[in-house]
Structure 1
Amino acid sequence: MTGPLRVVISDDDDLIRDALRDVLDGQPDIEVVGVGRDADEAITLAEQHRPAVAVLDVRMPGGGGVRAAREIAQRCPDTAILAFSAYSDRASIASMETAGAVEYLAKGVPNREIVEAVRRLAGR
């Protein structure tokens, strides 16, 4: 692949969105091409930008990460989905995996792990 790895982020928490954008955009090989607040925006941004990776909050308005993951997986099959959540219970993880998430990270992990997961999902 040439060019930066394109990423879409969707989370209903302003601080989390801004922090994720800063962490990922701070990498020379990653470009955040869209940031949303809910499932609808996540789906629209994924369709518009066709990112390598979509980072989705599990619990957000519009049906949450489960709905967004399901729709993105169907509409943008080349986009890998990374679930990013404050919730790490088995039910949340299983629902996201069933919806199409390839990996699940709990909020609070070191920034390095987020960057590594995005690169891994994009095949870099």
Structure 2
Amino acid sequence: MTAASADGSPVPRLSVLLCDDNAMLLESLSDVVRAQPDLELVGTACDGEQACELARRHRPDVAVLDVRFPGGGHVVARGIARRSPATRIVAFSAYDDKASVEQMKSAGAAEYVLKGTSNRELLAALRRGAV
């Protein structure tokens, strides 16, 4: 799917899957993604099984994944990768300890963003992570 740039030329849209067990945060992130003309929200997931199924069905360009997702963010990241190998993972966490970062990076996370960062920084990481 494409969007139009300011000059009217087509801009490819990145498809995004959001995964977090905090419903309020998921709703807020959804609003942020929907407001971006170059992003397309293809789904939201509040558990690992749902995240993996949505990744299989929609094959998003990028999935933003809670590091402390029930069942383990690293486990879900690997499940998404099995079902949609081209999907890039952006780890999203309240924790920046070395073990959490390394665990997600070893599971394939392209970016690691702390919760509470500005929407601008999160969107930049999402776009970098999708490349």
TM bracket (short chain): over 0.9
User: What are the residue-to-residue correspondences of 1:92-107 with 2, within 5 Å?
Assistant: 92-107=100-115
Structure with max Cα Rg: 2
Report Cα offsets for 1:40-81 as digits up to 9, x if no partner.
1111111110000000001122x1211111111232121110
76, 80, 84: which is aligned to 1:76? Answer: 84
Query: Structure 2: which amino acid aligns with 1:121?
Result: G
Aligned alpha-carbon RMSD (Å):
1.3
- Give the match's secondary structure for 1:71: helix
Q: Distance in 2 between matches of 1:87 and 1:41?
A: 23
Q: Which has the higher strand share?
A: 2
Judge conservation of contact 1:54–1:81 (CA < 8 Å) in 2: yes
TM-score (norm 2): 0.87
3-state secondary structure, aligned to 2:16: strand
Distance in 2 of aligned mates of 1:12 and 1:51 = 19
Q: TM-score w.r.t. structure 1 length?
A: 0.92
Q: In structure 2, which of residues 100, 106, 116 is the aligned counterpart of residue 108 of structure 1?
A: 116
Alignment coverage as a number of residue pairs: 122
Q: Which runs of 4+ in 1 moved over 4 A?
A: none
Is this contact kept in 2: 1:38–1:64, CA < 8 A? no
**Aligned ranges 1:1-124 → 2 under 5 Å:** 2=2, 3-61=12-70, 63-123=71-131
- How far apart, in 2, do the equivalents of 1:40 and 1:102 lie? 21
The percentage of counterpart residues that share the same residue type is 52
**Offset of 1:25 from its aligned partner?**
1.0
Q: Distance in 1 between matches of 2:67 and 2:47?
A: 10
